[in-house]
Structure 1
Amino acid sequence: MLQRYRSQGDYTDCFAIDVPQAVSHAAFVEAFYTTGVFKLERALLSLLAACPSRDAEARELAAGQRERFSAWSVEAHAPGQLLMCDLAGSMRSWLMVLEAGPGTRLYFGSAVVRKRQGGAFRALLGFHKLYSRILLRAAAARALRAG
């Protein structure tokens, strides 16, 4: 789902982690948006951008019952995949699950459209990559605990 942005020359990334048990896409999406790490981001968005969110809304998003969550809206979905777009239209977040033997491979990726790739973005790119890996690990751990 990020290929379109990559082919346009936008920044894209993709991180993956393997977990030893089956994790459904819904469980991964809910776990991702309800980790302690992501709740900090949600709190900031609530305060700074007037985009509050609740765990119940994350569950609804994961179940396909909601098209908007905090500062994002659903851009696309397919079996095992979800692509979210921020309200400014400048960033995308992609979540995917793929069966990997008895376990599951969990993916988290991002796209940043060219017009937002200025100096501030380049300066924060290292933090973005680290934060993405932290989010993915936290979501995997939460999904395993819930499973």
Structure 2
Amino acid sequence: MGVPVIADLPADALLQRYRERGAYTDCFAIDVPGQVAHAAFVEAFYTTSVFKLERLLLALFVSRPSNDAEARELAGGKREMFAAWSVEARAPGQLLMCDFAGSTRSWLMAAPAGGAGTRLYFGSAVVRRSQGGAFRALLGFHKLYSRILLRAAASRVLRA
């Protein structure tokens, strides 16, 4: 398994609607061996130890608790709310989530890669950003954190 890289947003990505509207968007991808179901990727993403720290912070600071069972339900299409997000859209192999303030979007996609592998994608959109340097100051951290999250999810999927 390699490292997550900045990738082109696929043409059919649910996140494209925000890129077309001029919002900040990004897209990271990592290829893993074998066939990975989208539901397995979503569950792995939201149950990594890295993301559990974010879930803890959301529970403490914005009263949005969550647990692994809820992540599994979200992945299986049985839940529309998870922690600080709600499902905005689903498509085959994709999930688009909206944060509770309506400012950001998170997108996950699993698609066949060359050979017998799977390409796992994670992207974000910032639809409302403040004027000033706060956005730019946090962007470097966001990009690093996005790669860490995607790598952790890929590792978890491979262990499962």
Tell me the TM-score normalized by structure 2: 0.89
Q: Deviations over 1:39-94 (max 9, x none)?
A: 00000000000000000000000000000000000000000000000000000000
Residue 97, structure 1, aligned to residue 110, structure 2: yes
SS in 1 for 2:157: helix
**Residues 53-132 of structure 1: matches in 2 within 5 Å?**
53-100=66-113, 101-116=115-130, 118-132=132-146
Superposition deviation, residue 9 in structure 1: 1.1
Superposition deviation, residue 15 in structure 1: 0.2
Q: Distance in 1 between matches of 2:123 and 2:141?
A: 14
Q: Deviations over 1:6-51 (max 9, x none)?
A: 1111100000000011110000000000000000000000000000
- Give 1:28's aligned residue: 41
SS in 1 for 2:77: coil
Of structures 1 and 2, the one with the larger relative CO (CA 8 A, separation 6+) is 1
* Identity between Structure 1 and Structure 2 (%): 79
Which structure's residues are more often helix, by fraction?
1
Superposition deviation, residue 115 in structure 1: 3.6
Tell me the TM-score normalized by structure 1: 0.96
Alignment root-mean-square deviation, CA: 1.0
Q: Does the CA-based 8 Å contact 2:129-2:135 persist in structure 1?
A: no
Q: Does the CA-based 8 Å contact 1:90-1:116 persist in structure 2?
A: no
- In the alignment, residue 104 of structure 2 is paired with which amino acid? M
- Give 2:22's aligned residue: 9
Structure 1, unmatched stretches of 5+, are none
Structure 1 runs, 4 residues or longer, greater than 4 Å off: none
Cα pair distance change 1:4/1:70, threshold 3 Å: same
